[in-house]
């Protein structure tokens, strides 16, 4: 949080929770903060590093009943709309969405600023509010229960073939080709 403050954020809100949190719980928590703070644009990352789900932004937009654009590589705000550019298989796609809205970012959306020592020192004086989910009126509601986790089966060692006919013969022998 202090790094974000050192990069230019004016203030930060830390929502503490000691339990495992699923994407829906995060979306509900963010919605509570959005309503409390009167936020008009929520920009989230593409996916979380803990579960790699990529669901929170979409869930937040649904709960907030606001438009959302995912995987944004460029954002322009004009009056009460946002122009979102995103990379798709065929090139670039530009969307226009009404604000307030939710945007999830692609890694190309921003180049982080390098933090300078004076900014680190200033960040220590910037407000950092600490709250918890209960204070925001959010209770955890787990949807999933992990029954079992196991490592994938070990791969067999590969082989080196000299040419295409030998590759085809080996694939037929293993039943991959007929």
Minimum mean pLDDT range among 17-26, 49-58, 67-76, 146-155: 49-58
pLDDT digits (tens, 9 = 90+) for 95-116: 999 999 999 998 888 887 789 9
The mean predicted confidence, pLDDT, of the chain is 91
Class at the top of the CATH hierarchy for domain 2-146: alpha beta
Residue 124 pLDDT greater than 80, yes or no: yes
| Domain extents in the chain | 2-146
Q: Cα 47 to the chain's mean position, in Å?
A: 3
How much is the pTM?
A: 0.77
Instruction: Return all residues near 151 (Cβ < 8 A) that are at least 6 apart.
Output: none
- Each residue's pLDDT tens digit, 51-86: 778 899 999 999 999 999 999 999 999 999 999 999
* Residues 6 or more apart in contact with residue 33 via CB below 8 angstroms: 13, 15, 39, 136
């Amino acid at each position: 949080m202090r790094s974000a403050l050192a990069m230019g954020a004016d203030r930060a809100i830390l929502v503490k929770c000691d339990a495992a949190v699923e994407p829906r719980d995060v979306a509900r928590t963010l919605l509570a903060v959005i309503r409390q703070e009167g936020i008009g644009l929520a920009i989230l990352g593409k996916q979380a590093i803990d579960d790699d789900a990529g669901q929170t932004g979409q869930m937040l937009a649904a709960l907030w009943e606001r438009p959302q654009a995912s995987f944004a590589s460029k954002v322009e705000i004009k009056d009460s709309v946002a122009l979102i550019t995103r990379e798709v298989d065929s090139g670039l796609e530009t969307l226009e969405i009404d604000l307030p809205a939710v945007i999830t970012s692609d890694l190309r959306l921003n180049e982080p600023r390098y933090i300078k020592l004076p900014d680190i020192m200033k960040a220590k004086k910037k407000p950092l509010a600490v709250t918890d989910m209960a204070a925001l009126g959010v209770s955890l509601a787990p949807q999933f229960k992990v029954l079992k986790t196991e490592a994938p089966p070990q791969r067999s060692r590969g082989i080196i073939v000299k040419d295409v006919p030998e590759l085809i013969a080996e694939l037929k022998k293993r039943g991959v080709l007929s």
